Structure 1
């Protein structure tokens, strides 16, 4: 029998769920706050969490926190007001489902019967370290589960993710986990193919097909026969060629350039892109029928900034690999070094992390421990830029707060000009009410704490361990402050 936890305030939903679940022999508990829910999942064996989306600010971060507790429960998100964008984020974050409150009770009861199978499949995800893929974040595990469960299926796969997220590494893993692992893996970088040669390179050509074709050449599609064809940056495939390639996918037959006889090739397609192919299809720059054909299975690779402590795990692997290559012992990372890695937004993703580790090792020379000072200046500058909010353009007559006091745009501009050394005369109207020093100080401190904690929560994607490491706050103090400002719910 299953143990279910509901996190929320909807008494009617709890009563309806309880009536259905108890009759089937299950148990249902309720937590009114997200903090209580995290505590329960950390101390009790919980199989499923029913999470009301209004309890938390960021649904995907909340799911990550729940999945990282000791019981690692599955999560269903329930809402009063259906929001496709919020539902999309919930499902990508690892939720089993996103549903309206009215239909939730019976849907949840039906889902509970499938939990043993779902839990078994989650536990049976093989280690991807043998393929060079490191990380244990919930967002990554969701995608690894998709790859693992579909490893024996001969279906086309589309890898989508930002530049530097490791799409080629995942393509190799998909090939090596498939029944075609003994066949060839042919990689084609569509962005680097000369447009006038792309057709002949893919399909091959016959002798005399064009000037310079002194002999026939086997194309890349034929070379992938019995294995996997990996089209990297598939969005760059010329529009004129997309129709021909669509026929290849449908029939696995094609005609070489200048050839009179059709060839066949039995390959599995893995494609990758960092662009929005649906938007390209809407604009007419990518065929929608080809998009449907190449994305039978879709894997969404999360950017490094959304993978929490994975950055530390990857960095440790890189340090061990560099040490093994040089015949030495791996360097250790200090606490401040790790904190900087966790706080940096990594616009270049894993590719940037690899370059940063190599640069850091060169700077550190023979030291045994890596400190934040060893990191490149670009890391420090990038963190400053990411943490500095843009000044709002609120138009004439707007006021800005500074230290708990309101200031007009003229006053702000005047202060800036005084700080730059200009001799200016300011005429600033005094506020109608000046708070006491103590009150102004309290307001300023609360404003600082609220802003800091909100940025901390967003930066760490709600990962409490990372947040404590960055802020040097204890877990108890962090929870106390987050409850104070209703950041966790």
Structure 2
């Protein structure tokens, strides 16, 4: 019998869902907080989770990766009282089955639940996922495990892949990982830096040329496209490709045929295409700076890589890996790492992501010299300064005012026969609102700065300002 978990702080909703699911002859359990829900998911297997977004102890969307990576790998249906288009987008990108808004008709809930159970039953019949070769790929966080699932999907087919992510997140590493796990693993992996291509050299570099095609062409040259035959062609920084060159790309991606410069014959290349970018191609399409048809051609499988600040639990294993690797390259014994170093690394923002972390640790190894341990003092001063400043800014925020009609809490030893102490939930809500107001004032409503300082996700931030009726 299928088991369903409802995570919602509204007891009436929980009771209604329990009654409905029981009538469908399914087993149902309820949890009123995110913590309770996660504990139940660790203790027992569930097929489906109905998840509220705004819970007393956290944001359901922020917990989505953890829920989906629970031992039973449940399907998730969002059931929320406040429909939010941005939240719906984040939820669907996070892999939820559906996004329902309360009050939702009973018939719709039953229909959705029956469909998701049929989907789950079908999925269980499929062959187990392949074992991936993840050499040099470090990460056990929920967001990284979701990436590995997409890598496994991409490795089992020959479809085009578009890898997106900030600078330094490891886009080429993931492209090589897909190639290494695919049926083309024995073929070549040919990277192309699109940012370096201009109209004058594009055709010669990609498609090659024959002897005498132009001044200086003293011999035939095989282009990168032909070199990728039977393997993978990796188009790095595809977002930097000028619009004038995108039409040329589109044609040969569609036909897999091309003509070397100076040759009258068409030739073919059987390659698998993987592209990568740190640009927002969807926005570029809207601004007519990237061809829509090329964008759709590239993103058959979309693999978005998370920034390092969203996978902080991976920082320690990454640091250990890089220290070991750096010491081996430099011919030194592997150094230990003091606990304070990890604390600083986990609090830093890492605008350059994994690449910046690796460079930072290399500088630390050099600074440590012949010492056996890397201490916080060996980290670059600019990183330590930024972490300390962020800590001090957090502590220097003004204390929230007492709720209306209340006095400050009395000091120990001062007699007050009847102090008015607000409910914890009311006091916490007031502190939360005051924090948001100070945050907005300090950053002058700069969204990127607010998210960086607070550590909140975009969806959680918007949920909080809506909850407190704050205008941005």
Q: TM-score surpassing 0.5?
A: yes
Verify the 8 A CA contact 2:6 2:17 in the aligned structure 1: no
Secondary structure of the residue aligned to 2:63 is helix
Aligned to 2:214: 210
Verify the 8 A CA contact 1:343 1:460 in the aligned structure 2: no
Kindly report the root-mean-square deviation, in angstroms, between the aligned alpha carbons of the 2 structures: 3.6
Give 1:253-268 correspondences, 5 Å limit: 253-268=257-272
Q: CA separation in 1, counterparts of 2:387 and 2:128?
A: 37
2:353 alignment partner, one of 334, 349, 352: 349
Aligned to 2:96: 95
Give 1:14-163 correspondences, 5 Å limit: 14=14, 17-23=17-23, 25-55=25-55, 58-67=59-68, 73-101=74-102, 102=104, 103-115=108-120, 118=123, 124=129, 126-130=131-135, 132-163=136-167
TM-superposed CA distance for 1:352, in Å, is 0.3
Secondary structure of the residue aligned to 2:62 is helix
Name stretches of at least 5 consecutive residues in structure 2 with no aligned partner. 412-420, 440-450, 458-472
Aligned to 1:6: 6
Q: CA separation in 1, counterparts of 2:78 and 2:144?
A: 19
Q: CA separation in 2, counterparts of 1:374 and 1:107?
A: 55
Give 1:53-452 correspondences, 5 Å limit: 53-55=53-55, 58-67=59-68, 73-101=74-102, 102=104, 103-115=108-120, 118=123, 124=129, 126-130=131-135, 132-325=136-329, 329-384=333-388, 386=390, 402-403=398-399, 438=410, 447=431
Q: CA separation in 1, counterparts of 2:434 and 2:318?
A: 32
Verify the 8 A CA contact 2:143 2:311 in the aligned structure 1: yes
Larger deviation: 267-276 or 363-372? 363-372
- The higher relative CO (CA closer than 8 Å, separation ≥ 6) is in 1
Verify the 8 A CA contact 2:18 2:30 in the aligned structure 1: no
TM-superposed CA distance for 1:287, in Å, is 0.7
Larger deviation: 102-111 or 266-275? 102-111
Q: Residues 135, 272 of structure 1: CA spacing in aligned structure 2 closer, same or farther, 3 A cutoff?
A: same
TM-superposed CA distance for 1:118, in Å, is 4.9
Secondary structure of the residue aligned to 1:6 is strand
TM-superposed CA distance for 1:207, in Å, is 2.7
Secondary structure of the residue aligned to 1:78 is strand
TM-superposed CA distance for 1:235, in Å, is 1.2
Q: CA separation in 1, counterparts of 2:230 and 2:363?
A: 41
Q: CA separation in 1, counterparts of 2:357 and 2:118?
A: 43
Q: CA separation in 1, counterparts of 2:312 and 2:75?
A: 19
Verify the 8 A CA contact 2:400 2:434 in the aligned structure 1: no
TM-superposed CA distance for 1:330, in Å, is 3.1
Cα distance per residue 1:157-195 (max 9 Å; x no partner): 100000000000011011111111111111001112344
Verify the 8 A CA contact 2:194 2:235 in the aligned structure 1: yes
Name stretches of at least 5 consecutive residues in structure 1 with no aligned partner. 391-399, 407-432, 462-489
TM-superposed CA distance for 1:221, in Å, is 0.9
TM-superposed CA distance for 1:246, in Å, is 0.9
TM-superposed CA distance for 1:109, in Å, is 2.9
Verify the 8 A CA contact 2:53 2:61 in the aligned structure 1: no
Q: CA separation in 2, counterparts of 1:325 and 1:310?
A: 22
TM-superposed CA distance for 1:150, in Å, is 2.9
TM-superposed CA distance for 1:11, in Å, is 5.5
Secondary structure of the residue aligned to 1:154 is coil
Secondary structure of the residue aligned to 1:275 is coil
Verify the 8 A CA contact 2:133 2:181 in the aligned structure 1: no
Secondary structure of the residue aligned to 2:309 is helix
Cα distance per residue 1:461-486 (max 9 Å; x no partner): 7xxxxxxxxxxxxxxxxxxxxxxxxx
Cα distance per residue 1:11-70 (max 9 Å; x no partner): 565455435533554311111122222232233333432111122653432223435656
Q: CA separation in 2, counterparts of 1:29 and 1:215?
A: 73
For normalisation by structure 2, the TM-score amounts to: 0.79
